[in-house]
Amino acid sequence: MRALLTSPALLRRTALASVAANVGIVLTGGVVRLTDSGMGCPDWPRCDAGSVVATPRLGIHGVIESGNRTLISVVGGLAVAGVVLALLRRPRRRDQLTWPGLVVAGIAGQAVLGGAIVHSTLDPWIVAAHFLLSMALIAAAYHFWRTTREAGEPTPVSRPVRALSWLVTSVAAAVLAAGTVVTGSGPHAGDAHARRTGLDPATVAQLHADLVMLLVGLSVALFLFAPPALRRAAGVLVAVELAQGLIGVVQYLTRLPVLLVGLHMAGACAVWLATLTVLAGARVTGPVQERSTPSRAAMASASRVAAPGA
């Protein structure tokens, strides 16, 4: 039994399941928002007075919100399982304890924000913080999974490329943050009666678009200057960004249909995961070995050595 619990494969699968669960709860949260079910459960931590699940009087909105809350226990359970499995391994690795531990701590923070959202009747800024913390949890779960993979050859990158990968990650985070403001200023704030940010939707949408264009430009630069081992991940990132940008433009021009907004939210998770892949791949800094043509002196010396009677 202990051999099973300490196997690298079980830890790796648990970590991957944690990534999937954290992405899943973002998507179900999107369903809550897009169906105006943000106040489907009018109480916290209970859904309704005296019940932790939706009661018949709450209707479909209560079922949707209650289902989303139920997933929190799955996310938390996987994170705790990751910590326990990492503790059982010999030798222990600090990073395999730190990342799932951060997920556990983040879930506690999500519980606090969840209560604040209900009691503030979907304050858009608290909802935005709730979403951004979810993206931070995805990052922690992803890095936990990376620690469980078999070690491969390190990717040598120059310091400028490493710095560029961090810049891309920072701008990607800014794009996500701006996206939450756009949503909080528009029609899909989680409830028909929820208050909005009060900002002009067109203005914040333009700011969001500007940040997206900056992100794509930086990602293309990273693709061009990255070493071959990192170039594939950078290329995937650019492709995902372009697809996400296309969805964003179409949803804006078609006045934010629910289906496209849902796809855009899934695309945000895809962009974030692709960004994290690039950042994790650019983990080794140092001089990059580049091909160079032999100098004339070296060629002449080699000729003298090879010549008969030299």
What's the average pLDDT block by block, 10 residues per block, for the chain (310 residues)?
78 97 96 92 89 92 94 93 92 91 96 93 93 98 90 74 96 97 81 79 94 98 93 97 96 91 96 97 58 44 46
Listed in order, strand segments (DSSP E) in 113-272 are 156-157
Taking the C-alpha atoms of residue 209 and residue 231, their distance in angstroms, rounded to an integer, is 25
Cα–Cα distance measured from residue 286 to residue 62, given in angstroms and rounded to the nearest whole number? 54
- For residues 8 and 286, give the distance between their C-alpha atoms in angstroms, rounded to a whole number: 30
* ω into 294 cis (within 30 of 0): no
Q: What is the pLDDT of residue 18?
A: 97
Note whether 29 and 65 are within 8 A (CB).
Answer: no
pLDDT of residue 296: 46
> pLDDT at position 284, please?
62
Q: Which residues pair with 156 in a beta bridge?
A: 284
What predicted TM-score, i.e. pTM, was given to this entire model? 0.88
Question: Which position has the token pair 């809550």?
Answer: 32
pLDDT for 307 equals 46
Q: What is the pLDDT of residue 197?
A: 86
CA distance between the termini of the chain: 71
Structure tokens, 244: 């996400």
| Tokens, residue 279 | 């950042």
String of DSSP letters for 122-140: S-HHHHHHHHHHHHHHHHH
pLDDT at res. 92: 85
pLDDT of residue 153: 60
Number of H helices, E strands in the chain: 10, 2
How far apart are alpha carbons 269 and 259 in whole angstroms? 16
Q: How many CB atoms lie within 10 A of CB 257?
A: 12
230: phi then psi, degrees, rounded to nearest 5: -100, -15
Confidence at residue 190, expressed as pLDDT on a 0 to 100 scale:
64
Buried b (16+ CB within 10 A) or exposed e, 130-152: bbbbbbbbbbbbbbbbbbbeeee
